[in-house]
Structure 1
Amino acid sequence: MATEPSAASAESVPTVVAALLAYLKLEGVSHIFGIPGGALVSVLAALKADADITYHVCHQETGAAFIADGYARVSGGLAVVLTTSGPGATNALTGVLNANASHTPTLIITGESPQWSFGRGYLQEGADAGLDIVSIYESGLDCSELITNADNFQALFESAMRTAWGTPCRAAHLSLPSDVAASSPTPPAPPAFSVPSSTASYRTRGSFVDAGGVASAVEAIVDAQRPLLMLGNDCRQPLQNDSLLGEFVAAIERLALPVMTSPDAKGVFPESHALSLRNYGLAGCRWPKLYLEDPLHAHDALVVIGSSLGELATWLDGKPWNPKLEPAGPFIQLSDDPSILGRDFPITLGVVGETGALLQSFIQAASSVETDPATEATMAKRAQFVADLKTAYSPFVDPEKRTSPSNPIKPQTLARMINEALPPGSQIMVDGGNCIGWCMHDMVVDPPTQIHTALTFGTMGFATGAVVGAKLAAPATTCLAVVGDGGFLMQVAEVATAAQERIGAIWVVLADHDLSMVSQGMAALESDPSFDQYYELGWNDLAVVAQGLGAEASNAQSVGEVAAAVDRAIKGAETGVPQVVVVAIDATEAPPYDYQPLPPPAATH
């Protein structure tokens, strides 16, 4: 877990690099991820001499950023990426943008050639050449700065931390020229940096909330016949607090309020709870759709907490932003980001607040709202309706395929088996591609187990790296990535990172030797079955590749082989040896994305 921020007295240090390390320790940082290079000479020397911060040498900078993201998601701390200039900085970009989109607090520090060399063709120069690294990062982040001298280091670092730990959390970038890193303040400034004793001196995370707006949302729920609550991924971090989750569940029960989540918030509310409709959106559970489409009683109030209501969060019947989500009554959206309120649907009320404070305020309002016998009778009927719906209908599109004995294994069966094999409290990292659909639809997730995705930015390869960081953050916890063979190949070198550092991460690779999400999607959208297997990856023995990188690895395709291999991997990971299970799946199966053929092009005149 993340180291607690230091509460020591102010520290006086002579150089920028010494101040940088002091600030990182103040932020509770004990692990940094990246690949070293010549533009980092002073930083690398300082890190080697510092026993409090470990610099983990990864195998590609994008993978390093994914690992840092996974570490921060599980530890609750700051993700820190350190790369050299030029190609090192550009390689890390995708991983950093993914962390930014996922609201992971992140700092990327890219080295830079010395300022005296700017414009002279120095190797890997980025700040003052055609490749402007600061501007590249600035185009995707709220904070990207070049530290031009020792005198502006503190102001720029502290500004970066305000961005990283802002509301919502974001990624920030600092470019540090090698000569500046080794420099000291210049007169008339004091000859040394005075690093503050507390992060509170330069940043804060306020628990601001519009309590009146939250109370109005609860009142709308109480006044409705068929209200519905939707939770987004911004609720994940606060609801990992067991006490807060327990209070929130009690509030839901008092209101007899059905709950669904966005895809990336799957499992933030216990999916086995009587009032859970599980996940809505892409490859969602069938229950939310049935609740929304009840012909006798339309849902008449919708409250959304912590979701931007983007494309995949609102996907239904192959249509994003499906209007079926709109209630016949109040539509209330609560978020820490005012820019997304009412962006995708017309709302009746938008409420701004820090997500944890919104949830606490919701609990308080739910516990104090007045009800009468008629309202309580309505609540009882609503709870019974949800129970009857869940009894009458399977949550799965193809329930029989979740228990199929076929060989090769059905991916539906594989997702169920992984789900059931994992101990409570496991961390599941799911990559982009069809594995998202199988895990979203065919897994049932209850806290303290957590499932993490990269759905906002949609990167492949995320889970391949992120599971390494997750296991580093929680070494006593089972950490498993579900990845397709395409995403695994993108970042497979990070298996070697895990092996080098004896990090017992687990990868289950869905092997069909094809980019099937694309192949199947194109076949459906274009009504052209010839796209099936059109984007084949060729034949790769990924188990042999993984073994060559230092993992214990095996192939499996039958139910029995998969059960034995997953059990062996979970036990083997406890010894600190990374584990890879390559599963040959039935490639004819497609997740329930409900793609619809594209309409013909409009006639031109």
Structure 2
Amino acid sequence: MQTGQSVSVIPGAQTIPSCTVAQLLVQYLLAEGVTKVFGIPGGAAVWLMEELKKHADQIEFVICRHESGAAYMADGHARATRGLGVVLTTSGPGATNAVSGAMNAQASNVSLLVITGEVPEKYFGQGYLQEGTDAKLDVNVIFRNAVESSAMISSPSNFQTLFQQALRNARSLPNRAAHISLPNDVAGTCISPPPTKPTPSSYQARAACADPEALKTSLHELLQARRPLIFLGNGSREALAQPERLKAFTEFVDRFGIPVMTTPDAKGIFPESHELSLRNYGMCASAWPDLYIRPLGDPDHYDALMVLGSTLGELATTTAASNPYNKALLPTQHFIQLDLDASVIGRDFPVTRGVIGEIGASLDVLLQHAHQYHHPDPAKVDERKAYVRQIKQSHTAWADPEGRDSDKAPVHPAAMIRVINELVREGEIFIDAGNCVGWSLNNLVVDPPVRYQSALAMGPMGFGVAAVVGAKMAQPDKPCVAIVGDGAFMMHGAEVSTAAQYRTGAVWVVLYDNDLAMVSQGMAQLLPPAPSWQDYYKLGAPDLVLFSQGLGAEAVAITPDQGTESFKAALVKALDSAQTSGKPQVIVVHINTQPSPPYGWPVLPIPSCTLPSASAAGGDSSL
């Protein structure tokens, strides 16, 4: 086996004593600021597990209950720290179990590194237990088709080259997921000559590119418009997470009177209580964006849109499921789309100007140029602000304002969201897949420092259930709340045990309806009659309070005869106990099952299929 290093020596770089591949890998993680690795140990990663044990005072190996849960947890930790999430699994099924979480991180612009062990190279192709490379199951190929990059370390000589590339890909902008497969014997092999000390600045750089001329022209078009609008996507999250830039951007839109809306997965990256915020567009949107945009053909239809960091995919641009990719989003004059990924510009909507650039650097150019060279027209600014005020004063943002204000029993889901909104004033709110998405999008008002975390590009059930644990581990002094359905909670609720083991006071609010309600309610509207879908997707009436208590949580049910005030009292207690005791908290809310979020499902026409007659078909009509 080769042991020579192929990485070029950097002049003046510091070398470290000869070490194994596993030892050097841990040094890379330390250099990247990694403090936690999430996963499940196994026989294909013994040398790396041994090295993590030696560095337990610097990197904690968090033992999860399922590899998918581990990947979601690492995702949540990465979101909360804005750093690198790391997953470690064994080979074979351990590796494939982590694919969904890795794919979700890739789609959600989260920096994630998955390290999977592999059987010793010398046994490839011999039917070794859980072999995942030279057998029918090719883990490397599976990950390669799910994340930004995947590679197998075949020798100590290529370890640094391939591992640095994985780190570059994971830490790039947009953030991505990467995978490394590490055979056991390679992990335990010494590297010679001694390797250079891992230094991130020597092998990676963060994108900070902008197109000043295109941005100046785009800014001019935006500011000359009568009804301009800015549309923020999840690709703007990292840029606006910097307080100084968010402050400058807020001052800019206020100075020029430009309203702002966000995609669903970017909800709250611009404060939704701001007078110029129209809140989120797309799926289960606030009512306000459509009222500002106006329908196509309307004399007051808006005339300029600047999209920052959104692919303009289905959920971002569909305000009713019956009308996907709503063409009302097309302005009468200027459609400007700015993104670092050139492949998404103009993909779903024709643009008048596409600009390639990193959002943070591009915003800095825009804001500086606007400050130095542009002066607002006070009459235009006052007119637009008055128009937005009139929209807000005459139209509620909620699809069901009566339901949101309700105190009746059983708890209305919109009212439940309102209570969470009132009590959670900082920290992270994780949204799982299902109706919790629709209720939260339409009824939460998110202002920094609260951060709304979702996974709407892929929408895996169970994401929020596990991710909130990783986030709480990263931010032990701040509330971290997951809003989840009962179906999703049963998928990854075992990770409540992980939270209990590590004294992690995450809080779960479970919408309990004993049903996969997003599906059953959707099918009832798509393919009526509705009664035919009742009870079709029931979940067996599990006792989720006993389930949670058995896993180490403090848990309580809000029963069907209890209203919103009972839920509010339970959430106050749970938030306090999570901080003081470090125990996970679960509130199982038996919700009113009648209302549904405002998805705008159509009624589907029933297909009418008839076989052509034998004569019309020209003879034999048999299949």
Question: TM tier, shorter chain?
Answer: over 0.9
CA 1:13 to 1:280, structure 2 compared with 1: closer, same or farther past 3 Å? farther
Shift in Å at residue 9 of structure 1? 4.8
Give the secondary structure class of the aligned counterpart of 1:194.
coil
Give the secondary structure class of the aligned counterpart of 1:303.
strand
Which residue of structure 2 lines up, in the alignment, with residue 364 of structure 1?
A: 368
**Aligned residue among 311, 315, 327 for 1:312:** 315
Which letter maps to 1:547? Answer: Q
Distance 1:184 1:52 in 2: 23
Which letter maps to 2:312? Answer: L
Which letter maps to 1:193? Answer: P
**Aligned residue among 59, 83, 87 for 1:81:** 87
Structure 2: any 5+ residue segments left out of the alignment? 1-11, 613-623
Distance 2:147 2:18 in 1: 30
Structure number with larger C-alpha Rg: 2
Distance 1:383 1:370 in 2: 19
Q: How does 1:555-566 map to 2 (within 5 A)?
A: 555-557=557-559, 558-566=563-571
Give the secondary structure class of the aligned counterpart of 1:451.
strand
Aligned length: 591
Which residue of structure 2 lines up, in the alignment, with residue 4 of structure 1?
A: none
Give the secondary structure class of the aligned counterpart of 1:268.
coil
| Correspondence 1:576 to 2:578 | no
Which letter maps to 2:327? Answer: P
Distance 2:438 2:148 in 1: 31
| Correspondence 1:22 to 2:23 | no
Which residue of structure 2 lines up, in the alignment, with residue 444 of structure 1?
A: 445
Shift in Å at residue 403 of structure 1? 1.3
CA deviation map 1:296-353 (0-9, x unaligned): 4110001100111000000123222110111111100011111100000000111111
Indicate the larger mover: 279-288 or 401-410.
Answer: 401-410
Relative to the length of structure 1, the TM-score reads: 0.96
Q: How does 1:283-294 map to 2 (within 5 A)?
A: 283-293=284-294
Which residue of structure 2 lines up, in the alignment, with residue 328 of structure 1?
A: 332
Shift in Å at residue 11 of structure 1? 3.0
Give the secondary structure class of the aligned counterpart of 1:540.
coil
CA deviation map 1:106-141 (0-9, x unaligned): 110000000111111111100110000000001112
Q: How does 1:440-589 map to 2 (within 5 A)?
A: 440-529=441-530, 530-557=532-559, 558-574=563-579, 575-589=581-595
State, as a whole percentage, how many aligned pairs show the same letter.
47
CA deviation map 1:46-105 (0-9, x unaligned): 111112111100000000000000000010110100000000001010011000100111
Please say if residues 240 and 448 of structure 1, whose CA atoms lie closer than 8 Å, have aligned partners that are also in contact. Answer: no
Structure 1: any 5+ residue segments left out of the alignment? 1-6
Give the secondary structure class of the aligned counterpart of 1:29.
coil
Give the secondary structure class of the aligned counterpart of 1:193.
coil
Which residue of structure 2 lines up, in the alignment, with residue 133 of structure 1?
A: 139
Which residue of structure 2 lines up, in the alignment, with residue 157 of structure 1?
A: 163
Distance 2:574 2:585 in 1: 5
Please say if residues 283 and 320 of structure 2, whose CA atoms lie closer than 8 Å, have aligned partners that are also in contact. Answer: no
Distance 1:10 1:171 in 2: 29
Which residue of structure 1 lines up, in the alignment, with residue 185 of structure 2?
A: 179
Please say if residues 14 and 196 of structure 2, whose CA atoms lie closer than 8 Å, have aligned partners that are also in contact. Answer: no
Please say if residues 257 and 275 of structure 1, whose CA atoms lie closer than 8 Å, have aligned partners that are also in contact. Answer: yes
Please say if residues 464 and 488 of structure 1, whose CA atoms lie closer than 8 Å, have aligned partners that are also in contact. Answer: yes
Distance 2:366 2:604 in 1: 42
Distance 2:20 2:451 in 1: 41
Shift in Å at residue 253 of structure 1? 0.8
Please say if residues 436 and 484 of structure 2, whose CA atoms lie closer than 8 Å, have aligned partners that are also in contact. Answer: yes
Please say if residues 230 and 260 of structure 1, whose CA atoms lie closer than 8 Å, have aligned partners that are also in contact. Answer: yes
Give the secondary structure class of the aligned counterpart of 1:151.
helix
Indicate the larger mover: 230-239 or 342-351.
Answer: 230-239
Please say if residues 485 and 512 of structure 2, whose CA atoms lie closer than 8 Å, have aligned partners that are also in contact. Answer: yes
Which letter maps to 2:369? Answer: A
Which residue of structure 2 lines up, in the alignment, with residue 249 of structure 1?
A: 250
Indicate the larger mover: 551-560 or 290-299.
Answer: 290-299
Distance 2:99 2:207 in 1: 29
**Aligned residue among 44, 47, 50 for 2:52:** 47
Please say if residues 471 and 479 of structure 1, whose CA atoms lie closer than 8 Å, have aligned partners that are also in contact. Answer: yes
Please say if residues 300 and 330 of structure 1, whose CA atoms lie closer than 8 Å, have aligned partners that are also in contact. Answer: yes
Which letter maps to 2:203? Answer: Y
Q: How does 1:310-459 map to 2 (within 5 A)?
A: 310-318=313-321, 319-371=323-375, 375-422=377-424, 424-459=425-460
Distance 2:326 2:242 in 1: 33
Distance 2:499 2:13 in 1: 34
Shift in Å at residue 209 of structure 1? 0.8
Shift in Å at residue 541 of structure 1? 0.7
Please say if residues 39 and 71 of structure 2, whose CA atoms lie closer than 8 Å, have aligned partners that are also in contact. Answer: yes
Shift in Å at residue 206 of structure 1? 2.3
CA 1:533 to 1:216, structure 2 compared with 1: closer, same or farther past 3 Å? farther
Indicate the larger mover: 61-70 or 360-369.
Answer: 360-369
Please say if residues 15 and 183 of structure 1, whose CA atoms lie closer than 8 Å, have aligned partners that are also in contact. Answer: yes
Which residue of structure 1 lines up, in the alignment, with residue 300 of structure 2?
A: 297
Distance 2:15 2:109 in 1: 30
Please say if residues 13 and 197 of structure 2, whose CA atoms lie closer than 8 Å, have aligned partners that are also in contact. Answer: no
Distance 1:133 1:57 in 2: 22
Distance 1:582 1:336 in 2: 42
Which letter maps to 2:129? Answer: L
Please say if residues 34 and 64 of structure 1, whose CA atoms lie closer than 8 Å, have aligned partners that are also in contact. Answer: yes
Give the secondary structure class of the aligned counterpart of 1:110.
strand
Please say if residues 305 and 334 of structure 2, whose CA atoms lie closer than 8 Å, have aligned partners that are also in contact. Answer: yes
